[in-house]
Structures are given as C-alpha cells and as structure tokens.
Chains A and B, each alone.
Chain A
C-alpha cells in the first residue's frame, strides 16, 4: 500500500526560559492514500504541532516525516505543491475583498490560470452552498460562511493531501455536518484525496475517520479504526448515571480497583451531573452507586451505554476529554 504520509519517531520540543516541553514524543504513523485519518486529543496534546511539521511550518527536533513521498524538511517546496491546510477558527483573507475575490487571490498562490480559477471558485461555492455570497465582502460573512470560504480555499489547488486542523471549531451543528459530509465525499471520490484531521470532537472523528490515533501529551496512545478501538472495550462495562447536583465529588473512584476511568458533564441549568464510568465488572458499579448515595446525592437515572470513542479515550487516559480541556485551560 502506498502511503501518503509517513512519520517515523518524530520528536518536537519547545524550549522556554526554565523548561523544555516535549510536544511530540517519538510519534510514528503511516497514512494510506485516500484515507481519512483522525488525530484525537485535548488541547496541548500535540495535534497542531504535528500538522504544522507536516505542512512545513515547523521543523522537527528529530525523526523523519514524508508527505506524498517527499521529506518535509529537505523537500519542503515539493510538499507544498501537493498539500493544503485548513485551520478551524481562522479567517484568512482580506475583509475588504469579496468572497470570490479572496478565493481568486489564493488560487494565484498555486499558479492557476484566472479562467480555471474562476470556474473552480464557482463550482466550490455552489458545492459548499454559498454561491449567493460571491460578491459579499468577507468581513460581512458569518463564522459559518467564513469557514466554508476557508475550506473552499483549501480545496482550490486540488491538493493530494489535505490537513484539517479542527475544521469545525466553533461552528453550528448544521454547518459542521455540511462541511464534514463534503470532506468525506471529497476524500472518497475518484481522486482519492488523503485527509489528516485533528479534532477534539469525538463524534466528528467517529463519523469521518477510517482510522483514529489518540494522542495525549505528545504520545500516540492507540491507533486503529473507530470500530476496532471501541471493540477493544467490549470486556468493560460503560454505565451512565445522572445525579442531582453539580457539586458531586467523584474522586473516590480514582482509588477503586476495577474502575478503568470516568468522565463527568455538569449542567448548571438543570443542576445535574452526568457521570460516565467504565468498570471491569458490573458488580463494581453497585459500590459506586452506594458511595454516591452516601454523599446524599439523588440518582436520577442509570443506564448502560455502548462504548464510544470517548470511552476509548477514558480507558487510555483515565479521564474524559472535556475534563482534560478544563484542566489545560485552567
């Protein structure tokens, strides 16, 4: 099988005045042509660092990376001819120019003829449902339409390999769904485009990716198809419990044998916390409910859940992605 992206023992460190941070720690991945590959992890896990190295914006500290068969350090200009990078939450372009003017400008960075560029711009704007905004100034577009523009920009040069860094960050459900569907169709079309996607949305990775690598603190913890990753959890039991407080303390579970991990989602509006806990055997779960009752918490519902990618993450890291986010932002 031909690999579009090949990464071997990649290390990247960042030095500050008093310490060294290892953003990537001996990362090795191979991505096949036509594959949609997801990098799943919290903020600061190393996802963007990896994408920046592959898109020639950053040099690795050690190790090697090849994109389309070209070395990202020694043959960076050849790499740039076959890739494109779309970062979520970014609005590249010039606010004073219209949507189609911005796209024309970006097409010229890849040497497209003006007529071919205009045709391609029309097609992409129609496909992504924003052709009625062709003459609208970019500064007047909503976040969702700016992101459509950003994706259209990324596809203008017909890249062989598309890097998507959190492409649906901050978008509404419908726009996210539209963009996800378009990316999958693009990759699975005859041209067999390869996509490397970073995300911290579990459902996005589950829905789009052929394979997913879970990355945490610069290290790849697992790498397989979403289905196979979830199947590995079949021996565990995932339970969901809703309790009537946002003050509940679940740290007691960290010392309990048989608890693989847990995550919690607090809702201030309803004053409830939903606990998702993964245990090795179901009887352990009764100890957990007893402990919750001892805290005078009212258990509103209990249900058994099918394993998701989030549970895979919990089983590998010991806690949920949302909590990692909260910890890293704090």
Chain B
C-alpha cells in the first residue's frame, strides 16, 4: 500500500512538473555550461513559459519576484543534448523493394512509448534525429523530435517554418546498401550506388524545374510524385541529407554527390574521418562522429579511430556526436565527449558537439543547443562535470517541463535498468497514460 502511495505521489510530482510553467523557475548557484560562452560558476538559470529567460552569473541575473527558486548549488546545468542520429522509437524506413525510397517517412512508424525514448531522456537527450536504417542508398525521411512526454508522435514534432514536422533525408553509401551478387534493384558496387543516386537526383532536378515553370499554375504542375518531392526538398536545402558513410573514399563520394547536386550533407559515422579531415573541412560539410569502444565489427570500420573528433576539430570542421542507439546506449551519450577528449579533442568543442553543433546540423541552432535567453528551455541538471564517468543526469527538462527526474523511482528504473525496464513489459505511470498503462 505504501508503495502504491509512493507511486501515486511520484506521479503527482511528475504531473505538477509537467504543468508548472505559469511561474518562472530559477535555478541558482549551479555551474552553467552555457556552450555559447564560457562556463559560469555560481550561475543562475531562469526559465519561463518554455523559454530561457536568463542564464548567467548571479550578479548579472535578476530573479523574477514570483519565481520558484531551486537551489542548484553543487550541480552543473548544461543545454539538453542533441543526438543527431538515433534509432529510438523503433521506427522503420524503406523496405526491400527498392534502394532509393524518399517517399517513406519514419514519422509514420514511431512508437513514443518505446523504452528507448525513456532511456534517451535519462541520458540527457532533449532533441533527437530519428532515422531509418542504412541498408538502402536512401531509406527515407528522418524526423527531428523533442523528447517531450507525449502521448502520440505528433506531440514530439518540431515544426518547421511551414508548420510541417521537421526532418531530413537518410542516405548511405559503402557496404550496408550494397547487395553484391543480387540481380534485383539494389546495387552491387560502389560506382553503381553513386550512379543510381545521380539518376534519381537528376529526375528530381527535372521535377523541380517543371514545378518552377508551372509558376503556381495548377494545370501546368506535373503529377505529384512523393519521392521526387522529397528529393526536391533536399535540392532546395529544406531537408538536410544525413549521409551514413565510413571509408575515406566513400566520404569523398558523398561530398562529390553533395557538390554536384547542391544538397546540404551531414556526414554520419565518418569512421575514416582522420584520413580526409581536411577535405571534409574544405567542403564545409558537418561531420557527426560516433565514439565506439573498439575498431571493426565490419570491414568499413576496421580503421575507425577515437581521434576522429580531434582530427576534424584541428581541420576546422563542424563536429557533432550521435548515439546511433542502439549501437551505443542513449544513456551514455555524454561519454562520447569524454572519450573524444581523451583522444585529443578540446573540452570546449566536445561539449559543443553534444549540443550546439548538433543543433546546427539539424538547422535548429536558433532554438536549442545552448543556454541563452530566448532559446527553448531544454537543459540537463547534472551531479557534476559532464565529462566525468561518476556524473549522473539528475533531471532533464524540455521546454520548461521536467521530463526526467532521477529522484522519481520510475524514471530511475529507466536510468539504471532493472525489472520492468524491458521493452516488452514497459510500465507507465505518467499523467498522459490515462490509466491505460497502469499494469
């Protein structure tokens, strides 16, 4: 009975936190890792109505009279983490019928109750690019999500200027999208892979030109083609192309294609980035790297190095990180920055790579990625230094709402694991479940 009561109280706390945005909240005394500027000791962070009102030294920030003040001394607050490449939510992309499927949207397949989203919140992630896989040259449209506590996927959308759910395009080269020996539609070689991609982008250029010439006259518009429409959005720069690529020659091929058609690439994984860091920097292509525990696992990653982040930083490229959950667990996203620093990256750039650089890659740097007045109130309260193994994510906030609280037994279950944390037997007690999840 006591336990039931505790759960009810815990749920009540979550619900209060989820709604408490009429009054400003001020966190005082924390170390603020603002990312946009130097770290601030004894800082104050004020959030109100989902936005950051102020972030700075105690002397420079005035706490609103009606604010709820939270003593955060001894804690560190940093921007919510931006994971540029994840597979949480169990979404799917294209099927085996064709190697290029730009019409397929992952947003039609996301389960927001997936335990992966809960683990991501526990890891301090507030913005995530969920992507279909790398088994295609182009596996579909990706989706940028805010990890709000939502009931349906729409509750987590990030709307672009047109009010559409924001996302990119997922492409891949190298071996994952090859089917050597197949006589089907999939390529058997790298050159064929590039040729198939060029062919489709050429079609999209033509389609775009037809649309342009129609000049808004419906009678002159070509029949709507969902695939070419999405590719045209990539050509116009409205959709970033998230390009899975490992080997140095594949990286150069991705850059070559991007230059030929003018789409905006973000290179992902880039296992051999250390070999072509200067070329990546010269092309001004952002690179999202993953720091993994050992080389290999497949031929393309035999030369992966933990020094990729450092090499790209030295070359002057924009560096981000990603979990590729479930290649690495979202709860250990911050660890990547720690290991990258171990391998020579600067602390400043590594922390930026977890946040603001990732936001830049998703075209969201005006809204998230740093502790600056006017930005979304997405932040993480940490028990200590972000690069320390001993540091815990205590709280994760999205738009002024606490979506993870380590002090809440249920949230803690997802943070450390334990019975019931498994995907098959997810238990939900939060306010959005309406009793449906009360098992």
Q: Do chains A and B interact in one complex?
A: no
Query: Which B residues have a C-beta under 8 Å from some C-beta of A?
Result: none
Query: Which A residues have a C-beta under 8 Å from some C-beta of B?
Result: none
